[in-house]
Amino acid sequence: MFKYKSASSSSRFMAVLLLGIGLNGLAVADVYKFVDAGGHVYYTDKPKHGGYRKIIQTPLAFLSAPRKSRFGLGGPLDFRLSTLKRRSEYSPIIEAAADRYSLDPALLHAVIRAESSYNPGAVSNKGAAGLMQLMPGTADRYGVSDRFDPESNIDGGARYLSDLLDMFQSNVQLAVAAYNSGENTVKRYGNQIPPIPETQNYVSRVLTYYRQN
């Protein structure tokens, strides 16, 4: 078993990387995380108590794949490790924005993960951009001049999410649905999650990530 006590974002990523590929470059394992009362973060592949939470699960297809394809760029483990690294990098900005707008940081993390997997350069086919996938109109509404600037993007997206929660009386499901499809769409359907497959799948995904945080 490999265990690590976190001291910085870069060393935290290296700990998970070692867990994922093993010290000999061959072993692959699920990764579990535990945060103690002092705020120290621990990672392991063999948790010894129920306080650990699984943060990376190695797919069966990955385990059964030939070794060369397992460790090639673009594989599922590469994607998870890249997402985890970016999450660690942007966490201080996310936590600050959540505090500024009285949001649960876990919810803000969940929305960002669903929107862009923490990729500040992400662009959708509809023109949404950045970590929180702001549309041009939303960016203008919240004074975000550069949607690819992580701090500005997160600030604007957090303000928008906070306003949606106020609008829908702290109903997280409706606020998340409105973040995806627009507040007017949610209102048009009688303040219910719209019967739009994309929006329904989005709400389900965000709530799953929210529970995992």
pLDDT digits (tens, 9 = 90+) for 53-71: 877 655 444 444 444 444 4
Is residue 115 flagged as an active site residue?
Answer: yes
pLDDT band at 213 (very low <50, low <70, confident <90, very high): confident
Q: Is residue 158 pLDDT above 80, yes or no?
A: yes
Mean pLDDT in the chain? 80
For residue 142, what pLDDT band results from cuts at 50, 70 and 90?
A: very high
For residue range 75-102, list pLDDT tens digits in order: 566 667 788 888 999 999 999 999 999 9
pLDDT at 176 over 80: yes
At residue 20, the pLDDT reads: 43
Number of residues in the chain: 213
pLDDT at 154 over 70: yes
Q: In percent, how much of the chain has pLDDT > 70?
A: 73
CB-side neighbour CA atoms (13 Å) of 133 = 20
In this predicted structure, what is the pLDDT of residue 162?
97
CA distance 206 to 111: 6
Question: pLDDT: is 47 or 107 the higher one?
Answer: 107
Q: What is d(CA 53, CA 114) in angstroms, rounded to the nearest whole number? A: 19
Please compute the mean of the pLDDT values over residues 2-28 and round it to a whole number: 40
Q: What integer pLDDT is reported at residue 17 of this predicted model?
A: 42
Catalytic residue among 95, 115, 151, 198: 115
How much is the pTM?
Answer: 0.65
Question: Of 128, 125, 122, whose CA–CA distance to 144 is shortest?
Answer: 128
The residue among 19 and 195 whose pLDDT is bigger is 195
Q: Taking residues 171-187, report their average pLDDT.
A: 97
Q: What are the helix (H) ranges across 50-135?
A: 60-64, 67-70, 76-100, 105-116
pLDDT of residue 33: 78
Buried b or exposed e, range 17-31, using 16+ CB within 10 angstroms: ebbbbeeeeeebbeb
Domain ranges in the chain are 3-72, 86-212
CATH architecture classification, 86-212: Orthogonal Bundle (1.10)
Q: Which region among 60-64, 83-87, 111-115, 122-126 has the lowest average model confidence (pLDDT)?
A: 60-64
